[in-house]
């Protein structure tokens, strides 16, 4: 159906452009004489397809224009919802709350958006006068509660417009809400929007731009706030930090931004924001607890001088939405300065949105569904660009964790994180270039993790190298290289990670953090002609036990996972540098003439006749995280090759 294809195309065009749509807001429609196709609730315009549109019978919609509904808002909106359901031909797709408004505009296509520039004018003190002056051809509607009340007002005003002008309005501006544009072709829709944006751009000053440095205290302050926001059964929050010229202006111009401008702002950011005095964790904790006592929920938006915007979401995806929606509101406040200053929603209007069933439904849809075993936790996995680390991180992503891929291989690491994000629901993955053998690089890794996700719940020290050779052939330089990566790096990572974890455990007596070294069976038994690797891994077990003793009082568990041979991974099977070829050349396997001989030799040592794989290791990691009664353990995953007494 070419008309529906055109609707999908224009929906995606505007839905993917943050100047017009934030957090999937807005809705679009196409109609013929019999049916209306309108965006269903819970679908984003940027990625919408045919399945994202509800189809309604226009004959069943028409009586809603004349029906007298209950005067009680809650009862009335329930009645409207039921009538929309009766008219809906695609069961299971809830029509947009603005369906009737789309239906009453007699244009084939209707595109309703919330452009930042438009709302800069429509959320200003002089919105009506400015709109009438700039757009005399448009219909202006003063703020009205969304739902049936708004539909009736717009419907009646459209009828009056037709009588006065003998034509159908193509542009409808709604105060503190957005804009509707109607036309019989999508090309005409684009032309109208282009003209509107051009006129508005000529009237405003550009928003402030540029990054603002985050203070050093943030690496301790932010994890403390994430713990306070997550404790006492409040759910595992993800806290995203943004510090730029826009957040700086928001704090300096608090009166202009402290109240929401639009219903979407309330849906995603709640109706009250929290401005703190600075990165003082004790004072901030008290302010948050007072907020919760007053509001009955945790704040979504916190502004902190020296740190910036803290967006506290129920997931990484939600935190990003909160960030986008709030920064858009700050831009609206800035643009409103060109039209007489900001005009936020009033208390009654805010209360209506806060309690509106339709908006609660939107929150529920955007929150996600299935929960994994590490849902919402933030986990660093070193050496995760490929091989064992990639496999471990991939399994943790599927279990709901936010994953930081820490690796020196920048090209592969970026691709790996991008691939992980295709597996995510509400969680997220990022890549941070890291040299685990350099303390400053590890500090930068943890700092970036905190600013992106708000915390560090688990550090998986997986990065490692193996260089085979006997006492005659292995050089001191190679020995030092292996030791630096496998042994020293575990110390660096544990040192930096535990510092942040102590901040988190200090503010919640029920919270435990984890440091996990992916060690090896070679850390439990010696390895002929592979002593540099085995020695570093034996040392890793010693560090694990020692760190566990030191960190136990802080509820930081330190454990080691000791996998058997990952025979199918690049460490073993790389045709040039893999252990199979190294061991063959080093003569480690007596009588072996080929790589296949070496492989069979190692497989024969495993009672279960299988190599270890990342899924096996991840199960052990999940166990180590789940339990709170063991620390300092070396858990063998060897198929029975190594058994502990």
- Report the chain (645 residues): mean pLDDT per 10 consecutive residues: 96 97 92 97 93 96 92 87 94 89 96 98 98 97 91 95 95 97 98 98 96 97 98 96 98 97 94 97 98 96 98 97 98 98 95 72 53 96 95 97 98 98 96 98 98 98 89 93 95 98 98 97 89 94 98 98 87 85 88 92 89 93 97 94 84
Is 643 part of a structural domain of the chain?
no
**337 lies in the same domain as 395:** no
Backbone φ and ψ of 403, nearest 5°: -115, 130
Q: Which residues of 145-154 are buried (b: 16+ CB within 10 A; e: fewer)?
A: bbbbbbbbbb
**507 lies in the same domain as 536:** yes
**621 lies in the same domain as 483:** yes
Is 645 part of a structural domain of the chain?
no
**106 lies in the same domain as 246:** no
**81 lies in the same domain as 189:** yes
Boundary-marking domain end, from 315, 334, 365? 365
Boundary-marking domain end, from 340, 365, 390? 365
pLDDT at 636: 95
**355 lies in the same domain as 454:** no
Helix H or strand E encompassing 519: none
**359 lies in the same domain as 388:** no
Question: Could you give the CA distance from residue 588 to residue 592 in angstroms, rounded to a whole number?
Answer: 8
Determine how β-strand 53-57 pairs with β-strand 171-174. unpaired
**621 lies in the same domain as 521:** yes
Kindly state the tokens that stand for 129.
Answer: 């006068």
Is 97 part of a structural domain of the chain?
yes
Which domain does 417 fall in, by range?
378-564+612-637
Is 206 part of a structural domain of the chain?
no
pLDDT at 165: 94
Q: Give start and end residues of each alpha helix (H) in 16-115.
A: 58-61, 73-87, 99-104
Is 274 part of a structural domain of the chain?
yes
pLDDT at 366: 52
**315 lies in the same domain as 180:** no
The total domain count for the chain is: 4
Is 161 part of a structural domain of the chain?
yes
Cβ neighbors of 115 (< 8 A, separation 6 or more) are 19, 20, 178, 179, 193, 196, 197
**617 lies in the same domain as 579:** no
Q: Closest Cα to residue 37, out of 112, 114, 109?
A: 109
Which strands make up the sheet holding 556-563, listed edge to edge? 429-433, 402-407, 378-382, 458-461, 513-518, 556-563, 634-637
Is 571 part of a structural domain of the chain?
yes
**560 lies in the same domain as 593:** no
**287 lies in the same domain as 329:** yes
Active site positions, annotated: 533
pLDDT at 363: 53
């Amino acid at each position: 159906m070419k008309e529906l294809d055109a609707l999908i195309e224009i929906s995606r065009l505007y839905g993917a452009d943050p100047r017009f749509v934030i957090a999937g807001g807005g809705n679009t429609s196409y109609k013929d004489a019999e049916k209306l196709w309108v965006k269903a609730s819970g679908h984003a315009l940027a990625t919408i397809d045919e399945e994202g549109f509800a189809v309604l019978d226009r004959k069943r919609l028409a009586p809603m224009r004349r029906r007298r509904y209950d005067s009680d808002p809650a009862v009335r909106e329930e009645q409207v919802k039921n009538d929309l359901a009766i008219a809906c031909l695609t069961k299971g797709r809830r029509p947009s709350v603005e369906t009737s408004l789309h239906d009453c505009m007699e244009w084939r296509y209707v595109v309703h958006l919330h452009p930042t520039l438009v709302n800069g004018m429509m959320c200003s003190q002089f919105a009506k006068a400015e709109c009438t002056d700039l757009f005399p051809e448009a219909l202006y509607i003063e703020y009205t509660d969304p739902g049936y009340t708004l539909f009736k007002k717009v419907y009646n005003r459209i009828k009056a417009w037709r009588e006065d002008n003998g034509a159908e309005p193509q542009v409808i501006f709604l105060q503190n809400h957005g804009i509707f544009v109607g036309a019989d072709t999508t090309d005409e829709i684009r032309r109208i929007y282009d003209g509107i944006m051009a006129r508005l751009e000529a009237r405003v000053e550009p928003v402030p731009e540029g990054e603002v440095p985050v203070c050093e205290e943030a690496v301790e302050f932010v994890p403390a706030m994430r713990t306070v926001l997550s404790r006492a059964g409040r759910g595992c929050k993800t806290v995203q930090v943004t510090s730029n010229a826009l957040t700086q202006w928001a704090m300096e111009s608090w009166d202009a931004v402290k109240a929401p401008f639009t219903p979407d702002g309330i849906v995603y950011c709640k109706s009250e924001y929290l401005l703190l005095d600075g990165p003082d964790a004790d004072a901030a904790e008290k302010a948050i607890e007072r907020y919760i006592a007053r509001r009955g929920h945790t704040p979504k938006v916190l502004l902190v001088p020296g740190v910036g915007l803290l967006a506290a979401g129920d997931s990484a995806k939600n935190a990003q939405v909160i960030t986008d929606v709030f920064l858009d509101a700050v831009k609206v406040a800035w643009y409103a300065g060109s039209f007489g200053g900001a005009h936020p929603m009033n208390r009654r209007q805010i209360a209506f949105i806060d309690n509106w069933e339709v908006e609660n439904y939107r929150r529920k849809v955007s929150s996600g569904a299935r929960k994994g075993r590490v849902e919402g936790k933030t986990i660093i996995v070193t050496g995760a660009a490929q091989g064992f680390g990639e496999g471990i991180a991939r399994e943790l992503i599927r279990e709901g964790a936010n994953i930081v891929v820490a690796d020196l291989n920048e090209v592969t690491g970026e691709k790996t994180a991008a691939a992980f994000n295709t597996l995510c629901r509400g969680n997220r993955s990022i890549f941070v270039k890291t040299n685990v053998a350099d303390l400053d690089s590890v500090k930068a890794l943890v700092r970036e993790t905190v600013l992106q996700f708000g915390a560090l719940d688990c550090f998986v020290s997986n990065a490692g190298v193996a260089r085979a050779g006997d006492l005659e052939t292995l050089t001191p330089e190679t020995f030092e290289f292996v030791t630096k990566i496998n042994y020293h790096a575990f110390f660096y990572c544990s040192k930096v990670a535990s510092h942040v974890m102590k901040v988190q455990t200090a503010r919640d007596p029920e919270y435990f953090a984890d440091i996990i070294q992916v060690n090896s069976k070679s850390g439990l038994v010696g390895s002929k002609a592979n002593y540099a690797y085995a020695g570093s891994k034996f040392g890793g077990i010693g560090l694990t036990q020692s760190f566990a003793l030191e960190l136990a009082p802080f509820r930081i568990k330190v454990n080691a996972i000791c996998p058997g041979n990952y025979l199918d991974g690049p460490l073993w099977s790389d045709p040039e540098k893999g252990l199979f070829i190294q061991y063959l050349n080093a003569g480690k396997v007596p009588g072996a003439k080929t790589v296949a001989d070496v492989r069979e030799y190692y497989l024969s040592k495993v009672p279960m006749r299988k190599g270890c794989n990342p899924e096996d290791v991840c199960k052990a990691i999940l166990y180590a995280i789940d339990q709170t009664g063991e620390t300092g353990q070396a858990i063998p995953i060897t198929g029975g090759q190594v058994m502990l007494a």
